[in-house]
A and B are shown apart, each in its own frame.
Chain A
Amino acid sequence: MDGERERKITVTAIERFSAKDGPGIRTVIFFKGCPLRCAWCHNPETQAAEPELLFDAAACIGCGACVSVCPVGARTEKFPFPDRGKCTGCGRCTEVCPSGASALSGRPMTAEEIVEEACRDEIFYAGGGGLTLSGGEPFFWEATEEVLAKAASKGLSVVAETSGYAPSARLERAAAYVGLFLWDIKDTDGARHWLYTGGELGIVLENLRRVDARGGATLIRCPMAEGINADEKNLCGLAELSLSLKHCFGVQLLACHDGGRTKNRLLGRTDGARREWTPSAQNFESYGRILRGFGARVWEEGSFPPALPAERR
């Protein structure tokens, strides 16, 4: 990778006015690139680190503009579907596509640009809002540290939604800046964790302990997937884990859903969460109760502990 590239981060979406990704109103930056491959991934377009072509056949008007600009011949006159084998994600077709049928997921941004983007909504951050790094895995990128430093210099509160699957030293350094980690523990059963995410639980836990040792505030989050991790064993593990940490606010359960389906379709993929993994409202409620029974502090969806800006801690 050349120097220029290294300092940039591939961002797939910027969501302003989110009330669901940390306290207050937050601007959420979705980073591309994730080392895990969760079977239920809701944002499959964030897995690969490089920009990817999204193609919406329903919106295509067959004008052929993409065909004439594609440098690798991934688009042909007769067949507007991109040849995924050939496509390099260069994005040239998306620049000429009038209908938006061809769109690029992922645009390289500097740390500066990311923080600037978050600052646009500064007037709405009264009451604890700010910047949320999400993804993908925000700590997949070296330049994320730059984002944190710049955000701190602007007095922005930063929340990071992380899988904890990233270089330990980077996470440890981040602990000084991040006001709140929304830390995903996909499962507290190591074997299942490996089976459904492709990652080692031990690494996630080790990183979590290190960040905790550095005073990093965390809220553990777990997506409940019926028939996979939605059982007492996991809930007990989550409770124990949260209680074993010094700076952990507690646990927030999320319901696994198959909302990533549309995105998978646009990526030309068919995998993703299965319908039967989504817990019923009744079951989901009972998981919260069980978790409480194990002594954990449970945070309802849509409620968050505070996330103070770096300079105020």
Chain B
Amino acid sequence: MVFGTTFGGGRPVRLSEETRRFAAESLSGKYGDEAMRTPWVSLDDIAGFEDMEEYDKYDAMIRRIAERAPLRVTACEYVCGAATLGAAMEHVVPAFRGGKPVFTSVSHLTCGFDRAVREGLDEYGRRIGERMRAGAGRDGARQARFLKSLKNTLDSMRIWHGRYAEAVAEKKPEAGEILARVPFGSARTFREALQSLWFCFAFTRLTGNWSGLGRIDEYLGGYLEADLAAGRTTTAEAREQLASFFIKGCEWIRSAPPKGSGDAQHYQNIVLGGLNEQGREVTNEVTYLVLDVVEELGIGDFPIAVRISARSPERLLLRIAEVWRQGGGIVAVYNEDLVLRALTEYGYPRTEALKFANDGCWEVQIPGKTYFSYIPFDALALFQREVLGLGGGGAHFDDFESLYAAFRTRLAERVEALCAQTAAARTENGEGKVWKRGGPMSAVALFEEGCIEKALDYDEGGPVYNMISPHIGGAPDVGNSLYAVDRLCFRDKIISFDGLIKALEADWEGYEAVRLYARNRLSYYGNDGEADGYTARVLDDFADILLSRPRAGVTDGLMFPPGASTFGRQAEWRSGRFATPSGFRKGEILAGNNSPTPGTDFAGATAAIKSYGKAALEKQVTGAALDLKILPSSVSGENGLSALVALMKGFVRAGGFFLQADMADAETLYAAQKNPDAYRTLSVRVSGWNARFVTLDEDWQQMIIERTEK
């Protein structure tokens, strides 16, 4: 991230100069670079390490990290503790033997830090001790060892905490007093709660894990309200302190990060707003302060998702719209009521469902008590290879319904195979009940409800809920392909079925007129037209296949809830795909998540939302996302905000699940100039005039790019 782009023009200034400077340092990669200079602590001097049992190794590693990781206390910070070992960014435990990592770490979860804040970690020590005395279960010795590992982990954390408490007390007496109490004692004030939350989070990060944070406004809001009422703090003070939390969260940003899936994506998601367990709206002062901070600093490292509904305060929606307009796609929204329906219909009690956050990305889970992973698969490649028979001589169908029936059968087989393989790999009897032993993960298990009680680690069934979610990828393009086959071969009769297979095998070479017909004359998913029905059918059938599998209650064994995503895999999947009946050639990047295929959504954002909402998205239990790109100039002015608010309300009414709206940035527009076909739907709006960006003359394009840049 370049400093210059971080504080782009037009961002409001509310924070102190000092805090802003601190942010600039962090965002420019100062601390990330520092961490790379001390990537790991060495285990080389530990005699007989190779012969140690796994948990002995793990505990020794965590202890060594706690004892030796460099400390960092910066002048401006209000919360202390830092994940200073660079190898943690590589998803491993940063204690190395012979220059090599020993254990990988954990991501795609949100730890239950809120409980640690409320109770204090001393209480955790007491609970572990109690559980140890109660004796272990089926696998006595191992379970007892795991409990001991939890205790050792907690002890290591105490060592790390002691080092900080000393260093901070010396440099920053005020912060030192707070750190003297938390996280081992329960938090009493906003600042204590914030410090406690950060310290627990920082410890899991220090040991290599990437956790989400969950509903921090719910966790912290009560503390702040009480402080404000008692006159212990002010909103401005609280904003500075919260900003510190966010700035420190950027400590893994490097000045020259390696190329990959994007800089600093460590799944540290935050969820805001929505109902609490008692059914009351959570949105509070902390909610708005978080939005203030990310709006001002443009920090995208804690992706934020807000639970919205018809009940959402107007002010909240307006603030989301304002942050949207700053660009960067930092804030997304969940349709809260639909997600709640998805969870309760799947079997979660409502009080549990009400707690939902995500796994640090956007897959829905009950935070602090869920084991989660997902299995992505490419439904388009499946359709092309196994149904159309591309790459293998080609299949033949006489009518649409028999084609579709073949697809549904293949889909069901694939989904069943994925579940069966996973159950066999992860559980001992293959039925998803008794888990196989995994690697040690005590640093996160400590914060996962169920692990202490069951005396089982994070990935061996410890958490209350355990799920592995098959995720269908490429559904929009399967839908579009089905629609195109139906139109081209069976309804409009532009080309015979066998002819189409030949054309696809030839990557459309020699069939340009048919390809263009398919590409230009048919209107696909995302335009609020008939093609949407084909995509919805694919999604609904996929969900039904999983939902109709026999399963027990949500707390009993391994669950396989459906979800839909690509998470950017549409790029790497290209090589396994063929030309599509919808007129795309092999190698073109197709739809991401549940969004329209690039270059096919001509009817704008509202139509895309309606198309997306046509599937019964409440069946996609772990989620299905729509990504929208909007040109900032089309939502400028006061009415632009009203329009974005109205767009969110429409998204809720359309039955959407998860919406990530982002402003097209200058980079997008440059890409559009280079590859107009993929961006030919990008719409430019000026009063009383409309045009497609790619159809404009170059100087007009340039002008719009300039407007987007400023």
Contact = CB atoms under 8 A, between A and B. Distances in A.
Contact of B642 (A42, A98, A127): A127
B687 A303 contact: no
B261 to A, nearest CB: 30
Interface string A276-313: 00000000000000000000000011111000000000
Interface in A178-237: 182, 221
Interface stretch (A16-24, A77-85, A150-158): A16-24
B649 A124 contact: yes
B634 interface: yes
Given A25-B643, A25-B646, 14 more contacts: A13-B690, A15-B685, A16-B603, A17-B604, A17-B605, A24-B643, A30-B690, A42-B688, A43-B688, A98-B520, A120-B610, A125-B646, A254-B687, A259-B689
Q: How large is the interface on B (under 10, 10 to 19, 20 to 34, 35 or more residues)?
A: 35 or more
A161 B689 CA distance: 11
Given A16-B607, A17-B647, A19-B639, A98 B514 contact: yes
Contacts of A19: 634-635, 637, 639-640, 642-643, 685
B409 interface: no
A23 B647 CA distance: 13
B653 interface: yes
Contacts of A30: 690
Interface in B582-640: 603-607, 609-610, 634-640
Interface in B448-497: none
Contacts of A254: 687-688
A8 interface: no
Interface of B: 512-517, 520-521, 528, 603-607, 609-610, 634-640, 642-643, 645-647, 649-650, 653-654, 683, 685-691, 695-697, 700
Contacts of B636: 301-302
27 contacts: A16-B604, A16-B606, A17-B606, A17-B607, A17-B647, A19-B634, A19-B635, A19-B643, A20-B634, A20-B687, A21-B688, A61-B512, A98-B515, A99-B516, A123-B650, A124-B647, A124-B649, A127-B642, A127-B645, A127-B646, A259-B696, A259-B700, A261-B697, A263-B691, A301-B637, A303-B637, A303-B638
Closest 6 CB pairs of A and B: A302-B637, A124-B650, A19-B643, A17-B604, A303-B638, A98-B516
Contacts of B604: 15-17
Interface residues of A, number: 46
A286 B588 CA distance: 48
Interface in A119-159: 120-121, 123-129, 134
The A interface, classified by DSSP as helix, strand, loop or mixed, is: loop
B689 A302 contact: no
A128 B654 CA distance: 18
Contacts of B691: 259, 262-263
Given A120-B610, A262-B695, A128 B686 contact: no
Interface of A: 13, 15-21, 23-25, 28, 30, 42-43, 61, 63, 65, 98-100, 120-121, 123-129, 134, 161, 182, 221, 254, 257, 259-263, 300-304
B642 A23 contact: yes
Nearest to A95: B521
Given A15-B690, A25-B647, A120 B513 contact: no
B672 to A, nearest CB: 15
Nearest to A303: B638
Contacts of A124: 606, 609, 646-647, 649-650
Nearest to B603: A16
B650 A126 contact: yes
A126 B688 contact: no
A164 B7 CA distance: 45
A16 B606 CA distance: 7
Contacts of B609: 124
A224 B643 CA distance: 26
Contact of B643 (A42, A120, A129, A300): A129
User: Interface residues of B: mostly helix, strand, loop or mixed?
Assistant: helix
Contact of A161 (B642, B647, B654, B688): B688
Nearest to A26: B643
B521 A24 contact: no
A284 to B, nearest CB: 13
A222 to B, nearest CB: 11
Contact of A17 (B521, B643, B686, B689): B643
Nearest to B515: A98
B521 A121 contact: no
Contact of B689 (A23, A43, A63, A121): A43
Contacts of A134: 688
A123 B654 CA distance: 7
Nearest to B527: A16
Contacts of B653: 123
Determine which residue in A19, A21, A65, A127 has the highest number of CB atoms from chain B within 10 A of its CB, and name it. A19
Contacts of B607: 16-17, 120-121
B685 A61 contact: no
Nearest to A125: B646
Nearest to A100: B520
A30 B516 CA distance: 27
A260 to B, nearest CB: 8
B705 to A, nearest CB: 15
A257 B654 CA distance: 37
Contacts of B640: 19, 302
A258 to B, nearest CB: 8
Contacts of B650: 25, 121, 123-124, 126
B328 to A, nearest CB: 20
Contacts of B513: 61, 63, 65, 98
Contacts of B689: 42-43, 257, 259-260
A23 B512 contact: no
B643 A262 contact: no
Contacts of A100: 516, 520-521
A161 B653 CA distance: 29
Nearest to B512: A61
A63 B697 CA distance: 26
A98 B521 contact: yes
Find the residue from B634, B643, B649, B685 having the highest chain A CB count within 10 A: B643
A261 B691 CA distance: 11
A50 B637 CA distance: 35
A20 B688 CA distance: 7
A20 B643 CA distance: 9
Nearest to A13: B690
B520 A21 contact: no
Contact of B639 (A16, A23, A99, A182): A23
B646 A301 contact: no
B637 A300 contact: yes
Given A15-B685, A17-B643, A18-B685, A126 B516 contact: no
Contact of A257 (B639, B646, B647, B686): B686
B684 to A, nearest CB: 8
